[in-house]
């Protein structure tokens, strides 16, 4: 289920699911890649683990998706619109709630953590400790346990690398077409 504002999600959870643990993860997911999927699915596995939650009250998975302006400040562009990224995340098995996140200049989800106050904050394989998790101190302050290396395997892919490869391939195809080649076959219009 997609919420438009994190405050509305907080109210909904307080009213309907106050007793259930909340697992939160976050990212740009622009574009979504296998490392993201592994982290999100790993978060879901933790939330539904009978070893961690032996009662019938399993955890809820909340994915916070960074807004387009957040990505533009970080890397200079937003490859996919926020709404599309949220719909894709919402379609992943095990995701309970998706919410966008936007702040004025802050490149973290610290304020989102303070509003939502999850029990657990999960980070992917390339995030390991206080040196590369900027939300570390906020999590300690609100008594939110950080679970790092969710999805395992370190950084297995990069959204920026995927976009770069796609851009490079597009440039090669454009040059090839301009030189009279299309799909490896000489273009008759240039003869």
Closest of 69, 96, 94 to residue 82, by C-alpha: 69
For residues 130 and 136, what is the distance between their CA atoms, to the nearest angstrom?
A: 5
Instruction: Report pLDDT digits (tens) over 152-176.
Output: 766 655 555 555 655 555 544 555 5
Task: Tell me: pLDDT of 94 over 60.
Answer: yes
Closest of 70, 28, 35, 30 to residue 164, by C-alpha: 30
Q: What confidence category does residue 150 fall into, taking pLDDT thresholds of 50, 70 and 90?
A: confident
Residue range 6-155 forms a domain whose CATH class is: alpha beta
Closest of 79, 82, 87 to residue 67, by C-alpha: 82
pTM score above 0.85: no
Per domain, the residue ranges of the chain are 6-155, 158-191
């Amino acid at each position: 289920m997609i919420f438009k504002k994190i405050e509305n999600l907080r109210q909904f959870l307080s009213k309907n699911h106050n007793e259930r643990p909340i697992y939160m993860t976050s990212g740009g997911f622009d574009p979504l890649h296998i490392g993201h999927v592994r982290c999100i699915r790993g978060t879901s596995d933790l939330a539904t683990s009978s070893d961690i939650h032996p009662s019938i009250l399993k955890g809820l998975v909340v994915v916070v998706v960074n807004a387009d302006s957040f990505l533009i400040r970080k890397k200079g562009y937003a490859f996919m619109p926020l709404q599309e990224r949220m719909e894709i995340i919402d379609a992943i098995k095990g995701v309970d709630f998706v919410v966008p996140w936007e702040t004025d200049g802050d490149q973290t989800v610290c304020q989102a953590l303070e509003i939502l106050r999850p029990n657990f904050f999960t980070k992917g394989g390339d995030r390991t400790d206080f040196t590369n998790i900027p939300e570390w101190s906020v999590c300690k302050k609100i008594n939110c346990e950080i679970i790092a290396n969710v999805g395992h395997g370190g950084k297995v892919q990069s959204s920026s690398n995927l976009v770069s490869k796609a851009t490079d391939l597009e440039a090669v195809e454009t040059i090839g077409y301009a030189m009279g080649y299309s799909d490896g076959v000489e273009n008759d219009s240039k003869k």
